[in-house]
Structure 1
Amino acid sequence: MSTISTHLRNFKEPTRDQLTQLFFALPSSVNGASSASGSALGAESAQPQREKAGAGEKSVGAAETELEKMEINAVLSLGVQGEEDSYAGKLYLFPPYLAFASLDRKSVRFTIPLCTIRRVERLNARAGIYALSLSLWHGMKIVVQLTSLRPTADLFCSLLRDALKVELQKGKMKAVKPFIKTCYSELLVANASAPENADEKDGGGASKHAANEDGGPSSPAADSMYLGGLGLKFKFPGDAKKLREASKTKLWTNYLRSHGRNLTLLRYPQCTRLIQVGLPNRLRGEMWETLSGSLYLRFENPGFYEQILVENAGRTNTSTEEIEKDLHRSLPEYSAYQSEEGIGALRRVLSAYSFKNPETGYCQAMNILAAAILIYMSEEQAFWLLEVICDRLLPGYYSPSMHGTLLDQRVFESLVQRCLPILHDHFQEVDVQMSVASLPWFLSLFINSMPMVFAFRIIDCFFCMGPKVLFQVG
Structure 2
Amino acid sequence: MSDKIAQSDIDGYGFNISKSFEHTVYSEFVSEYLPVMTRRARRWQQVIGNKNSIAKSGTVKRFCRKGIPSAERPKAWMCLSGANERMKNNPHLYQQMLEMDHNKELVDTITLDIHRTFLDNRYFASNQSATSLQKPLFNILIAVGHRNRTIGYCQGMNFVAGLLLLVMKGEDSYEEKVFWLMDTLINNILPEYFHPDMHAVKLDQEVLGELVRWKAPDIYHHLELQGLSWCLIGMKWFICLFADVLPVDTVLRIWDCLFNEGQKILMRASLVIILSNRDKILRCTNFSEVTDLFKETVLGKESLHCHSFLHSMFKDIGSLPMARINKLRRLCESKVV
TM-score under structure 1 normalisation?
0.47
Residues 330 and 367, structure 1, Cα contact 8 Å, conserved in 2: yes
Q: Does residue 322 of the first structure (1) align with residue 109 of the second (2)?
A: yes
Counterparts of 1:322-361 in structure 2 under 5 Å?
A: 322-340=109-127, 341-361=132-152
Give the alignment partner of residue 240 of structure 2, picking from 419, 426, 444: 444
Q: What's the counterpart of residue 19 of structure 1? A: none
Higher helix content, 1 or 2: 2
Residues 107 and 142, structure 2, Cα contact 8 Å, conserved in 1: yes
Residues matched between the structures, number: 237
Question: Once the 2 structures are TM-superposed, how far is the Cα of residue 270 of structure 1 from its aligned partner?
Answer: 2.4
Q: Does residue 275 of the first structure (1) align with residue 64 of the second (2)?
A: yes
Higher strand content, 1 or 2: 1
Report the structure number with the largest CA radius of gyration.
Answer: 1
Give the alignment partner of residue 52 of structure 2, picking from 249, 262, 265: 262
Residues 462 and 469, structure 1, Cα contact 8 Å, conserved in 2: yes
Deviations 1:37-66 (A, max 9, x none): xxxxxxxxxxxxxxxxxxxxxxxxxxxxxx
Within 1, Cα distance between the matches of 2:48 and 2:189?
25
Question: Once the 2 structures are TM-superposed, how far is the Cα of residue 268 of structure 1 from its aligned partner?
Answer: 3.6
Residues 236 and 281, structure 1, Cα contact 8 Å, conserved in 2: no
Considering Cα pairs closer than 8 Å and 6+ residues apart, tell me whether 1 or 2 has the greater RCO: 2
Question: Once the 2 structures are TM-superposed, how far is the Cα of residue 429 of structure 1 from its aligned partner?
Answer: 1.4
Q: Which amino acid aligns with 1:417?
A: R
Q: What's the counterpart of residue 224 of structure 2? A: 428
Within 2, Cα distance between the matches of 1:418 and 1:446?
23
Instruction: Give the SS at the match of 2:241.
Output: coil
Instruction: Give the SS at the match of 1:272.
Output: helix
Within 2, Cα distance between the matches of 1:392 and 1:256?
22
Q: Structure 1 pair 256/389, CA: closer, same or farther in 2 (3 Å)?
A: closer
Q: Which amino acid aligns with 1:335?
A: R
Taking only aligned residues, the RMSD between alpha carbons, in angstroms, comes to: 2.2
Unaligned runs of 5+ in 1: 1-212, 214-233
Q: What's the counterpart of residue 460 of structure 1? A: 256
Within 1, Cα distance between the matches of 2:48 and 2:164?
22
Within 1, Cα distance between the matches of 2:149 and 2:62?
39
Q: Does residue 308 of the first structure (1) align with residue 100 of the second (2)?
A: no
Question: Once the 2 structures are TM-superposed, how far is the Cα of residue 235 of structure 1 from its aligned partner?
Answer: 4.6
Give the alignment partner of residue 44 of structure 2, picking from 234, 252, 255: 252
Question: Once the 2 structures are TM-superposed, how far is the Cα of residue 419 of structure 1 from its aligned partner?
Answer: 1.8
Q: What's the counterpart of residue 372 of structure 1? A: 163
Q: Which amino acid aligns with 2:105?
A: T
Within 1, Cα distance between the matches of 2:55 and 2:189?
21
Q: Which amino acid aligns with 1:349?
A: I
Structure 1 vs Structure 2: percent identity of aligned residues?
A: 28
Within 1, Cα distance between the matches of 2:207 and 2:155?
22
Question: Once the 2 structures are TM-superposed, how far is the Cα of residue 339 of structure 1 from its aligned partner?
Answer: 3.7
Within 1, Cα distance between the matches of 2:178 and 2:48?
23
Residues 159 and 240, structure 2, Cα contact 8 Å, conserved in 1: yes
Q: Does residue 402 of the first structure (1) align with residue 198 of the second (2)?
A: yes
Moved more, 390-399 or 266-275: 266-275
Q: Which amino acid aligns with 2:119?
A: P
Question: Once the 2 structures are TM-superposed, how far is the Cα of residue 275 of structure 1 from its aligned partner?
Answer: 1.3
Question: Once the 2 structures are TM-superposed, how far is the Cα of residue 459 of structure 1 from its aligned partner?
Answer: 0.7
Question: Once the 2 structures are TM-superposed, how far is the Cα of residue 414 of structure 1 from its aligned partner?
Answer: 1.3
Residues 345 and 379, structure 1, Cα contact 8 Å, conserved in 2: yes
Instruction: Give the SS at the match of 1:376.
Output: helix
Residues 394 and 404, structure 1, Cα contact 8 Å, conserved in 2: no
TM-score under structure 2 normalisation?
0.65
Q: What's the counterpart of residue 307 of structure 2? A: none
Deviations 1:189-222 (A, max 9, x none): xxxxxxxxxxxxxxxxxxxxxxxx9xxxxxxxxx
Q: Does residue 413 of the first structure (1) align with residue 209 of the second (2)?
A: yes
Runs of 4 or more off by more than 6 Å in structure 1? Answer: 237-241
Q: Structure 1 pair 331/248, CA: closer, same or farther in 2 (3 Å)?
A: farther
